[in-house]
Chain A
Amino acid sequence: MDDLPESSSKGTKRRRIDDSAADAATSSSLQDDLTFSDTLVALQIMRAQFPHIDKVSIQPFILKSQLYSSVKDRTQVDRELESLRRDKVLRLFKLNTGQDDHAIMFLDDYVKQIDQVFKRMEGKKEVEFEVFGWFKNYVLDSKLETGIEHEELCSLLSLGGKVKDSHISILINAGVIIRQLIDPNMYWFAIPNIGTILKGLAQGRNELISLLSRRRYKEMMLATLEKKRLRMSPLDMRFHLRDLIGSGHLRTDHTPSGLIIRVSKD
């Protein structure tokens, strides 16, 4: 990942990444790096910009709506995501925050996250933890979609050894697999420990939209907006802005004095 034209012009951003006390106040303006040319570049830069959250340890993930706001052509985004997914560079997860939300995580990060969960659980009980190893080796490798059927899961796990129901319960307790509400035989793949973050995501979205809706003209300059801090969400303003712009709730317009963010009505 070398200097691409996008990042090379953002001299301040390079320095900021090295700076350990990276904070929204010192980062370069979102206005400069709102859009990128390539999906993979966008993913990597957004992964680097993922906010550091104190109490929860979670690897960086990117929302699909953030990608849509960052790369101009949505069809190209979809197709590149699809080919990256097939190449097993990253994985897609369906989130339960109601809308058509998907989270993208690099495969290495996901494996790290599973390992972290595994380590914390390992302290409690000794039995039947080889299922995590089976999961990583067999299931993640062959099943690239966001959901999996019960029989298929069992058959893939049994490539490692004898599968019992308690194995599946361990996976569910760890948060790696979630049962689907509609179909009891299907599971979603999930990111463990992401619950508080998703709650913060939903609350942060509402807070940002209400912040703008309360204003008289339902708009605010981007420069002032990104300096505000959200009270209810551990994720930073830039994360939410990219997400809401990509999902269409907010619109950006160019004005002589910079970008302005408006609540879109349609």
Chain B
Amino acid sequence: MHTWKQIRDREFGNLRPHRFSNRIKSRRLSDLQLSNHKDFLSPHKGALNSLQVDLTEGRYLLSAAADASVAVFDVQRPTEHEAGGLISKHRCLFVVDKQHQLAHKYAVSSAVWYPVDTGLFITGSFDHHINVWDTNTTQVVVNFKMPGKVYRTAMSPLATSHMLVAAATEDVQVRLCDVASGAFAHTLSGHRDGVMSVEWSTSSEWVLMTGGCDGAIRFWDIRRAGCFLVLDQSRTQLGRRPSVLKRSTVNKESNFKSSSAGQTTSAKLRVAQKKLPNGNGSRQVVVGRAPAKGPIKQRLHPGMLSTQDRATAHYGAVTGLKVTDDGSDSRLRLWDIESGCDTLVNFETVRLQTNKPIQLATSQDSTRVFVPCMRTVKAFDMWSGSTSATFRGHYECVNSCWFNEQDQELYTGGSDRQILVWSPPRLISDEMEEGIAEDQDSWSN
């Protein structure tokens, strides 16, 4: 009823279409539960390490697991139906595992799509290699050897002038690999310990953010040498910065997941003049000019933990100067990228997984952040830090999650080898009216 009224308002022009769709989306978002109509049949025999839906179409889900297998699923078209057409099962379109000739030998820690189209995907693995695969032929096109275990790989979704893959490894240097030429472009030094998370900025194709096991989060402009910003947890600000003619001054950064704010951003972070000496945690304020809405990215931190985690949500360990002795409670922090300050939003997390990267997800309008916390996934409200929902379904630790904007679905992968789908409930009556998708009577022709 409420929906019909809104549709009528939209028709008469009382409600803007954009707001109408936002309302529907946020209502669906608050109704997420274990899906009663969609299921992925996971072919993996090891813990799932990363999930990603391609950015161009939002159709193919790429999953990487600890048994060196990588699988691709079609999110929108199921391969078969069950229960009279009510439940759609999605089998993988193909899986690349150890039997394959040039596959990885150890766990694949991250798999990302080529941002331009789904013809390529890039996988990074603990066997020190990064492979670039051709999707249609499932062959390795380019191969890079790294000096250590690869924890994360990332490619910039905005890049028009470069095809660089940023690799975060257990070595202290972040390497940039060029897909076009097959060579290494350059390395970024500054971290004192392994780098567990890397993410490209959604506002500039030249800015890269990395989080290391030493607890530092550094911002790099790849055209220069050296990072221009290190986030320091002693620099804090209370809440969002007030916007003066510009909207959304707070940028949150997610180490692997950046949710674009819906509008294209031409904000260029103007790099400060001085070059930061490596290893020095002094803060450089980025003189930013953000005429348009900046991208919202979220950065998570474990407060006193020195490892970084999460694919999308990595927790950066304590940033800047502090290094902690013992990992303990991990914390999530929200950082304002423009000012480099901690916005002091407290997310109530008791325990987060601390020894592997985990992947966080944020909703597009940046109101919700989904964080894997041991066996559950918690959805927090971004600005107030309160828990809005807890998703319990996995039998073991959840490693990664990805939020599908188009359908408002959350995909989570865990150490129990399953990919679970959390979606707004579909009313059974809807299905009945449309007719059963497949009508199979075994006794009539």
**B329 partner residues in chain A, CB cutoff 8 A:** 99-100, 247
**B239 partner residues in chain A, CB cutoff 8 A:** 79
Interface residues of B in 337-396 (CB under 8 A from A): 344-346, 348, 350-351, 373-376, 384-386
B304 within 8 A of A: yes
* Interface segment, one of B87-95, B286-294, B316-324: B316-324
**A182 partner residues in chain B, CB cutoff 8 A:** 323-325
B244 within 8 A of A: no
**Interface size in chain B (residues, C-beta < 8 A):** 28
Say yes or no: A100-B304 contact (C-beta < 8 A), given A74-B346, A74-B348, A74-B385.
yes
- In Å, the complex CA distance between A249 and B328 comes to 13
Say yes or no: A266-B234 contact (C-beta < 8 A), given A78-B344, A100-B328, A182-B325.
no
- In Å, the complex CA distance between A82 and B386 comes to 19
Find the B residue at minimum CB distance from A81.
B344
Q: Is the CB of A266 within 8 A of B344?
A: no
Say yes or no: A100-B348 contact (C-beta < 8 A), given A74-B385, A182-B325, A186-B321.
no
A145 within 8 A of B: yes
**B238 partner residues in chain A, CB cutoff 8 A:** 79, 82-83
B236 within 8 A of A: yes
Query: Of A146, A149, A182, A249, which is in contact with the most chain B CB atoms at under 10 Å from its CB?
Result: A182
**A146 partner residues in chain B, CB cutoff 8 A:** 234
Chain B's nearest CB lies how many Å from the CB of A244? 11
Q: Is the CB of B236 within 8 A of A82?
A: yes
**B433 partner residues in chain A, CB cutoff 8 A:** none
Q: Is the CB of B373 within 8 A of A266?
A: yes
Q: Is the CB of A78 within 8 A of B328?
A: no
Q: Of B234, B303, B345, which one neighbours A100 at CB under 8 angstroms?
A: B303
Interface residue ranges, A against B (CB under 8 Å): 68, 73-75, 77-79, 82-83, 96, 98-100, 145-147, 149, 181-183, 186, 247-249, 264, 266
A75-B385, A100-B328 provided; 20 other pairs, C-beta below 8 A? A73-B384, A74-B346, A74-B385, A75-B345, A75-B346, A75-B384, A82-B236, A82-B344, A98-B326, A99-B328, A100-B303, A100-B331, A145-B234, A181-B325, A182-B325, A183-B323, A247-B329, A266-B373, A266-B374, A266-B375
Interchain Cβ contacts under 8 Å between A and B, 7 examples: A68-B346, A79-B238, A79-B344, A82-B236, A82-B344, A100-B304, A146-B234
Interface residue ranges, B against A (CB under 8 Å): 234, 236, 238-239, 303-304, 321-326, 328-329, 331, 344-346, 348, 350-351, 373-376, 384-386
